[in-house]
Amino acid sequence: MANTAALQYATRFRLVYLLTGDGTVSGPTITSAALIGDSAPGPLRDVLSAAYLNQGAMRTALFNSQPCKLTIHLMATGVDVTAEHNKVTVDADVDAVTATRPELNIAMSDTTGQIAVITLEYIPPEQR
């Protein structure tokens, strides 16, 4: 089994994924096609479907509330395999298929049973 990201909730403004760790550090990756396919028609899908010049522009669009933000909530850490800190990290990267669109690369601690929730949310202009 690999680390997994399962869609839990989707609206025009928000995507919520449940992350489950199996004890490996790498993955999962949520591709651009999955992000767009999981999102409902609306402003979030428009941001995910846009073309970006580079990784920095993708990070700004998805993480800095211009126009989206991403939050991570670590819910549980089951069995510690090493003395490593329990954490989940997410980065926006150039999608492997469509280089102008972002994918989310996720890294989890080598903790069997680690559970986290990632929320990607569109922030309307009046709330930025």
The number of folded domains in the chain is: 1
Residue 76 within any structural domain of the chain: yes
Is the pLDDT score of 69 beyond 80? yes
Global confidence as pTM: 0.89
Could you tell me which residues come within 8 angstroms of residue 88 by beta carbon, excluding any fewer than 6 positions away?
Answer: 19, 72, 74, 106, 107, 108, 109, 114, 116, 118
Is the pLDDT score of 83 beyond 80? no
pLDDT digits (tens, 9 = 90+) for 92-112: 999 999 999 999 999 887 667
State which residues form the domain around 53. Answer: 4-123
Residue 94 within any structural domain of the chain: yes
Q: Provide the pLDDT confidence category of residue 84 given band limits of 50, 70 and 90.
A: low
More confident position, 74 or 118: 118
pLDDT digits (tens, 9 = 90+) for 7-66: 999 999 999 999 988 777 777 999 999 999 999 999 999 999 999 999 999 999 999 888
Residue 81 within any structural domain of the chain: yes
Sign for the CA dihedral angle at 7, 8, 10, 16 comes to negative
Q: Provide the pLDDT confidence category of residue 1 given band limits of 50, 70 and 90.
A: low
Residue 63 within any structural domain of the chain: yes
| HSE toward the beta carbon, residue 5, CA cutoff 13 A | 25
Residue 114 within any structural domain of the chain: yes
Asked if 69 contacts 60 with a C-beta cutoff of 8 angstroms, the reply is no
Q: Write down the pLDDT at residue 89.
A: 87
Residue 128 within any structural domain of the chain: no
Residue 27 within any structural domain of the chain: yes
Sign for the CA dihedral angle at 122, 58, 117, 76 comes to negative
Residue 55 within any structural domain of the chain: yes
